[in-house]
């Protein structure tokens, strides 16, 4: 079973985890809100764990909490975010969360602006892939709390964002002999039927007719015809159009 990702707004729900990850900018990690959210045993160690420059990829500091076998892992974000990512350096989160994560883990994600919460949740979700070809078990649970400048953030959309990212990553991670164009089309039709969305599928002939030679050329040697899927959702009262394109 793939690991489960759950969200909470109660800091005490993080304290019993075998490994507690705390990730944020060095400025954010020094806030009183973070200190109050930590287990009591971690507070005397906090200033020492935050020493040192994070560098271009961030920095990790780890310790065992006194009087227990619980591990505390601090991930300090780079000061300069990549130009391709949000100010919360989403590219750095997978590396900062990779160390020491066991089957029972928690993460306190400290963000400098509440508007960054979805970008951070997407980065968290990408560290928990649904597809795993290794023989090593990857089940377990990661409980996350998103801590903004005013306190824990409650947003019902966050689990939806995380689930969407993990499902999209699952499609990308699957090898093509397990998830080719035919399976992709069938998956899209299932989603459309479930959610009441219109679906339009273009296969080789339709792609050629519309001049989409790039897709046709890439798929010429495949045993399954290439496919372009368009999902069209038009809720009542909608006044604007948004188009997402990906592969």
Taking each helix axis as running N to C, give the angle between helix 117-126 and helix 158-173, from 0 to 180 degrees, rounded to the nearest 10: 40
Query: What is residue 31's three-state secondary structure?
Result: coil
* Cβ contact 77:112 at 8 Å: no
Instruction: Measure the CA–CA gap between 197 and 141, rounded to whole angstroms.
Output: 32
pLDDT higher than threshold 80 for residue 238? yes
Per-residue pLDDT at 93? 85
Report pLDDT for 136.
65
DSSP 167: H
Q: Which helix (H) or strand (E) covers residue 145, if one does?
A: strand 141-148
pLDDT of residue 87 exceeding 80, the answer is no
pLDDT in tens, 29-54: 999 999 999 999 999 999 999 998 88
What is the pLDDT confidence band of residue 101, given thresholds at 50, 70 and 90? low
pLDDT in tens, 162-175: 999 999 999 999 99
**pLDDT confidence bin for 3, thresholds 50/70/90:** confident
Per-residue confidence at 244, pLDDT binned at 50, 70, 90? confident
| For residue 82, pLDDT beyond 80 | no
Determine contact, residues 127/93, Cβ cutoff 8 Å.
yes
Q: Please name which of 221, 190, 219, 179 lies closest in space to residue 202, comparing C-alpha atoms.
A: 219
- The region that residue 196 occupies, defined by phi over 0 for left and psi between -120 and 50 for alpha, beta otherwise, is left
């Amino acid at each position: 079973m793939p690991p489960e990702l759950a969200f909470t707004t109660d800091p005490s729900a993080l304290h019993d985890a075998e490994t507690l990850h705390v990730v944020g900018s060095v400025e954010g990690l020094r806030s009183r809100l973070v200190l109050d959210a930590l287990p009591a045993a971690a507070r005397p160690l906090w200033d020492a764990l935050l020493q040192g420059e994070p560098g271009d990829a961030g920095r990790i500091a780890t310790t065992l909490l006194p009087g227990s076998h619980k591990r505390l892992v601090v991930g300090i974000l780079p000061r300069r975010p990549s130009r391709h990512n949000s100010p919360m350096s989403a590219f750095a989160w997978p590396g900062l969360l990779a160390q020491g994560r066991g089957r029972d883990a928690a993460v306190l994600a400290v963000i400098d602006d509440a508007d960054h919460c979805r970008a951070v949740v997407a980065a968290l979700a990408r560290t928990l892939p649904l597809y795993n070809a290794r023989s090593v078990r990857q089940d377990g649970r990661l409980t996350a709390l998103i801590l903004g400048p005013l306190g824990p953030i409650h947003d019902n959309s966050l689990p939806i964002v995380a689930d969407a990212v993990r499902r999209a990553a699952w499609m990308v991670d699957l090898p093509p002999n397990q998830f080719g164009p035919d399976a992709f089309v069938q998956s899209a039709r299932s989603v459309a039927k479930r959610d009441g969305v219109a679906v339009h599928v273009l296969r080789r002939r339709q792609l050629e007719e519309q001049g989409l030679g790039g897709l046709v050329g890439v798929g010429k040697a495949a045993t399954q015809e290439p496919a372009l899927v368009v999902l069209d959702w038009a809720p009542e009262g909608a006044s604007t159009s948004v188009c997402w394109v990906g592969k």
